[in-house]
């Protein structure tokens, strides 16, 4: 999978019960995992002993997990549960039918690609150490939201503020659409225009 060296391959199925045992999971979320996930596989282990890349300061090893889904939609809290149970950084590859999707966590936020046919799916594992490899993967998976360089934690914070603005704009647009009084509509449109200017400034700002 992903064109990684044979030396990184593990290809071991992970029993869901092992995930349950290592986390404080609610019965409801356990049922969600049972309903939504067909199987979990530990596909690859990236470390200085398997990948010919030195360990980083924060990423000493990185695991690649494939999660085979029973449905395309899933509760992303499942990824948080697995992350809590495994003491290493994880690149998640979700699969459903012939399509796959990559997920990765950065600074407490999960980023993901769109669904892509497996035949056209590719990621670049570039970097002088595992810190750099992980950050480069995160920027690819975020699909432009984290930029291409600079401090990635600052990029995540910048993106969080941008996403908050987008949500505020969407909510205000709905409010404008529902408003019947013309005077109030004009007032709300003024607020909307200002928010859009702030968002435009955010998009132009390098992070």
| Element containing residue 201 per DSSP (H, E) | helix 182-204
Read off the tokens for 142: 């975020």
Please tell me the distance from the alpha carbon of residue 198 to that of residue 162, in angstroms, as a whole number. 9
Question: Model-level pTM?
Answer: 0.85
HSE-CB at 117 with a 13 A cutoff on CA atoms is 2
pLDDT tens track, the chain, 207 positions: 688 999 999 999 999 888 888 888 888 988 999 899 999 999 999 999 999 899 999 999 999 999 999 998 889 889 999 998 888 999 999 999 999 999 999 998 999 999 999 888 999 999 999 999 999 999 999 988 898 888 899 999 989 888 899 999 999 999 888 888 888 888 888 888 888 888 887 776 655
- pLDDT for the residue 205: 66
Q: What gap in Å lies between CA 38 and CA 95, rounded to an integer? A: 10
Residue 35 CA from chain centroid, whole number: 21
């Amino acid at each position: 999978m992903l064109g990684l060296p044979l030396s990184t391959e593990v290809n071991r199925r992970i029993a869901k019960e092992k995930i349950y045992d290592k986390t404080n999971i609610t019965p409801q979320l356990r049922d969600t995992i049972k309903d939504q996930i067909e199987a979990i596989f530990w596909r690859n282990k990236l470390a200085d002993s398997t990948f010919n890349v030195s360990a980083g300061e924060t990423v000493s090893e990185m695991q690649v997990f494939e999660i085979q889904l029973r449905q395309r939609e899933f509760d992303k809290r499942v990824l948080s549960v697995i992350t809590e149970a495994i003491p290493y950084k994880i690149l998640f590859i979700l699969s459903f039918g012939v399509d796959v999707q990559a997920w990765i966590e950065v600074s407490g936020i999960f980023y993901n690609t769109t669904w892509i046919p497996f035949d056209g799916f590719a990621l670049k594992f570039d970097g002088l150490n595992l810190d750099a490899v992980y950050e480069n993967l995160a920027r690819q998976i975020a699909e432009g939201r984290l930029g291409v360089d600079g401090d990635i934690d600052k990029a995540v914070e910048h993106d969080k503020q941008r996403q908050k603005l987008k949500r505020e704009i969407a909510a205000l647009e709905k409010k404008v659409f529902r408003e019947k009084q013309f005077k109030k509509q004009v007032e709300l449109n003024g607020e909307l225009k200002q928010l859009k200017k702030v968002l435009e400034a955010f998009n132009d700002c390098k992070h």
